[in-house]
Every structure is written in C-alpha cells, then in structure tokens.
C-alpha cells in the first residue's frame, strides 16, 4: 500500500480524480479500500471527482508535451516493445513490418500507457484488455496469417 500511496501523493487533484474514476476499479479489493481511505483523507467524494474531471484545466494546455488524451496528465509510461501484431494491419507501413517480421527483422514500436488513468495512448500489439470479440478477431487474423505463411 505504501508504494501506491507514494504514487498518489505525486498526483494533483485533477489527476487523482481521473485515477479514482478510471483506475481504482482495476486494483484488488484490498488495495481499493486502501485507496478509498486515501481519497477520503484528501476529501474526495464522487461529486468532487466528477466536478474536477469536468473542469480539468489541463485540457486547454498546449505545451507540446506528450499527454494522455483522456486525463491530459503528462505522467505517461512509454515502453519500447517488439511489434508482434503484424497480422491485422492493412496500411502499407504495416505490410512492410509484416515482411520485416517474416525476414526475421524486428520492428520496435512505442507502447504508451497513462500512469494516472490507465488510458492506452498507443497500443501497437493490442495488448490492452479488450472485449472478447476483438480478441477472437485477432485470433482469426493470426490463424489466417499462419495458414498463408505455411
Ligand atoms: Zn490519463
């Protein structure tokens, strides 16, 4: 709990509001109740959270920093990932990457996730939790590609 507390201490009120609305529920029940205590300590309640989100002054910022599209925090995490999702693409760029993958060359892409609200800004491998139907669709693509490259 102390690790998450340290993280929450670094958030401003607006960031904390987004965190409470979008990310709180992704934690385990025990951690959630700890976070709720913390929110109470900072005098957060549902109406305050909604008010902060609707007011968010950062949505008007234009400072060229990489910001989350949902909460406008600049606390985003960028991971360089090996691009594995070469199957579902349609564009020319994607086709090149597909050929690179077949030729054994690895394409790296940025995976960008907001640390505050959990929003995926860039998801090259489509790893973010998806509704099941889309996962199945990805599976179908992999099946087709697998058949073609045999
Ligand atoms: Zn965010």
Total number of residues shown for the chain: 150
- For residues 76 and 69, the answer to whether their CB atoms sit within 8 Å is no
* pLDDT > 70 fraction of the chain, expressed in percent and rounded: 70
**22: containing domain:** 2-58
- For residues 109 and 86, the answer to whether their CB atoms sit within 8 Å is no
The CB density around residue 46, as the number of other CB atoms within 10 Å, is 10
Tens of pLDDT, residue by residue over 38-74, are 999 999 999 999 999 999 988 877 788 889 999 999 9
Domain shared by 108 and 134, yes or no: yes
138 C-alpha to ligand 1 centroid (Å): 26
Within-domain flag for 121:
yes
CA dihedral 3, 32, 18, 64 (to 10 degrees): 30
Tens of pLDDT, residue by residue over 108-144, are 889 999 999 999 999 988 887 755 544 445 555 555 5
Question: Higher pLDDT residue, 102 or 145?
Answer: 102
Q: Where are the beta strands (DSSP E) in 89-128?
A: 108-114, 120-122
127 C-alpha to ligand 1 centroid (Å): 17
- Rounded-to-integer distance, Cα 25 and Cα 38, Å: 15
Within-domain flag for 63:
no
69 C-alpha to ligand 1 centroid (Å): 7
Within-domain flag for 12:
yes
Domain shared by 41 and 94, yes or no: no
Domain shared by 51 and 80, yes or no: no
- Average per-residue pLDDT for the chain: 82
Three-state DSSP class for residue 51: helix
Three-state DSSP class for residue 110: strand
74 C-alpha to ligand 1 centroid (Å): 8
Tens of pLDDT, residue by residue over 83-109, are 776 555 555 566 566 655 566 667 888
Question: Higher pLDDT residue, 24 or 138?
Answer: 24
- Token pair, residue 107, equals 């394409």
pLDDT band at 11 (very low <50, low <70, confident <90, very high): very high
Domain shared by 43 and 92, yes or no: no
Domain shared by 82 and 143, yes or no: yes
pLDDT for 147: 56
């Amino acid at each position: 709990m102390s690790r998450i507390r340290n993280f929450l201490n670094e958030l401003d009120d607006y960031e904390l509001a987004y965190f409470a609305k979008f990310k709180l529920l992704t934690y385990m029940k025990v951690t959630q109740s700890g976070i709720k205590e913390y929110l109470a300590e900072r005098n957060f309640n549902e109406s305050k959270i909604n008010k902060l989100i609707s007011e968010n002054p950062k949505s008007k910022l234009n400072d060229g920093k990489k910001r989350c599209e949902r909460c406008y925090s600049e606390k985003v995490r960028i991971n360089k990932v090996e691009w594995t999702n070469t199957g579902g693409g349609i564009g020319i760029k994607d086709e090149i990457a597909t050929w690179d993958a077949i030729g054994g060359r690895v394409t790296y892409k940025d995976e960008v996730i907001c640390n505050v609200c959990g929003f995926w800004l860039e998801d090259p491998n489509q790893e973010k939790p998806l509704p099941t139907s889309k996962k199945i669709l990805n599976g179908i693509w992999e099946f087709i590609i697998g058949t073609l490259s045999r």
